[in-house]
Chain A
Amino acid sequence: MTSLAAQMPGLGDHRGLRGTYRLFAAGNNADISAHVQAFGPLPASGIEGDFIDVLESAGLTGRGGAAFASWRKIAAAGAAARSRAIMATKPVVIANGAEGEPLSFKDKTLLAHAPHVVIDGLLCAARAVAGGQMFMYVSAPSIPAVKRALAERTDARNIKIVAASETFISGEASAVVNSIANGKALPLERRRRLSDSGFKGRPTLVFNVETLAHMALIARFGAAWFRCVGTERDPGTRLLSISGPISGQILEVAGDVSLEDVLTQSGIDVSTVGALLVGGYHGRWVRRLDYRLAPTGTESHTVRPGAGVVHVLLHSQCGLEATAQIVSYLATQSAKQCGPCMFGLPAMARVMNAIAYGDRDPRLLLELVRLSDVVTGRGACHHPDGTAELVRSALDQFSEDVDAHLSGTCLKTKGRRS
């Protein structure tokens, strides 16, 4: 976060928002006056139902992981609210800043330095659906900055702060709703979309805080401005949490950026990189750096940004060991509500660790593939699916390492094994 102040553009002129430097343009720890000076005030009108059309032409997608089209969510919640026979079913809008993903810190950074952009976005989303209650569901470290920001404004009195629990799945959309309604951050069995029936049965919108921040800027500067960065299939910018050998840093990059560009912008020596974990613990390992970071596109050329995580694994580090550590963690993070996840993830972790740490049984590989298939799609949330995806990508990208391990050596940590 040292780079923010250095990159600050000229204040008071939103044309300073050219390029990919957008969300943090009001500088470090921006208070309401710095915020208004950088971005101008939130338009008092023009953000009603037709904001959905603006969002559609902007092409904004969710930045929390699933990359769902934001306009579609809003339209669905609006339609659900209108279809209710009884009055007073105003949609509920929730800003999700739980960020349970251990490798992600862009949401905390955004809430710390640009809370007003997120609050503006929340107000925009609520206005677009004629919403009622608003919540900011954020992790404990973010609460002071959010509280301070809310106290600085008069238009945010209906926004309630709720503390998110520090678990991996606390940010899953139904867990967010469950946490706010019942104090339990566990995913819910869902037969209906949250946009139809969520918080207390009301149409409910859960948006990642970065998604809302983009909305706030789209409301001011329009769809064409949003699209002047990025590409047709992935317009606008996104925040990335970069981690690995270097200390963590946040980048705001253009949509559809190449992984090589991400590394160069992060000041990472490309020649030292063995592999990248993209998307987070539910993401995918990739070794080729000419892949592009976009939510859609062929698997052979694109990798989904997920929650915006890029984690660097050096040539000297073993990808199987790294994956085993992650899968072990993910197994502990099962909500233990669904049997296949509660039992399947620990089983996967055991086999993954056996392969990573010296067991030479040749049947382990097939067993891990089998377990990954068994757990997939069999839970109330996507925790087992995401874990299986990670394991599959590790077995694919580190296949030579698997061969080496099963014959008693490691390509990376030579000498540690006999």
Chain B
Amino acid sequence: MREVLHIDWTRCDGRGLCTELLPTLLGRDDWGYPLAMQAAGGDPSNVVIDFQHSEAAADAVKLCPKMALALAYEADQADETW
């Protein structure tokens, strides 16, 4: 099970703190929201965190002013929709 940084888009306001703490994993989109820089096909709302970024990711979770981040283990995501 890989560790993932989950972005709650309903909370995220694009302050950019996480992109400064994780500059190799997160860039910013046209409007300042964090944009996963991983290869295509990944889940841009659940960014895979490798061991060397684990600590910075934990900091990002703690310091996000909108409390929009959470660390989780990649599990089956909610797949119901309308």
Contact = CB atoms under 8 A, between A and B. Distances in A.
Interface of A: 64-66, 68, 73, 96, 169, 171-173, 175-176, 188-195, 206, 337-341, 343-344, 347, 373-374, 376-382
Interface in B21-77: 29-33, 35, 40, 43-45, 70, 72
A382 B81 contact: yes
Contacts, number: 84
Closest 4 CB pairs of A and B: A338-B9, A172-B82, A66-B81, A337-B10
Contact of A190 (B44, B72, B78, B82): B78
A379 B72 CA distance: 18
B20 interface: no
A339 B33 contact: yes
Contacts of A176: 82
Nearest to A198: B80
Interface residues of B, number: 26
A378 B33 contact: yes
B2 interface: no
Nearest to A342: B31
A379 B9 contact: yes
A340 to B, nearest CB: 6
A68 B78 CA distance: 12
B33 A340 contact: yes
A339 B82 contact: no
Chain B: interface secondary structure?
Answer: loop
A337 B81 contact: no
Given A338-B12, A339-B33, A192 B80 contact: no
Contact of A377 (B8, B11, B30, B45): B45
Contacts of B44: 376-378
Contacts of B14: 339
B30 A343 contact: yes
A195 to B, nearest CB: 7
A189 B8 contact: yes
Contacts of A65: 81-82
Contacts of A378: 7, 9, 33, 35, 44-45
Contacts of A338: 9-10, 12
A60 B3 CA distance: 35
B82 A96 contact: yes
A193 B80 contact: yes
A220 B65 CA distance: 55
A66 B82 CA distance: 6
Given A191-B72, A191-B78, 7 more contacts: A68-B81, A175-B82, A189-B11, A343-B31, A376-B44, A378-B35, A379-B45
B60 to A, nearest CB: 17
A339 B31 contact: yes
A217 to B, nearest CB: 23
B80 A195 contact: yes
Contacts of A175: 82
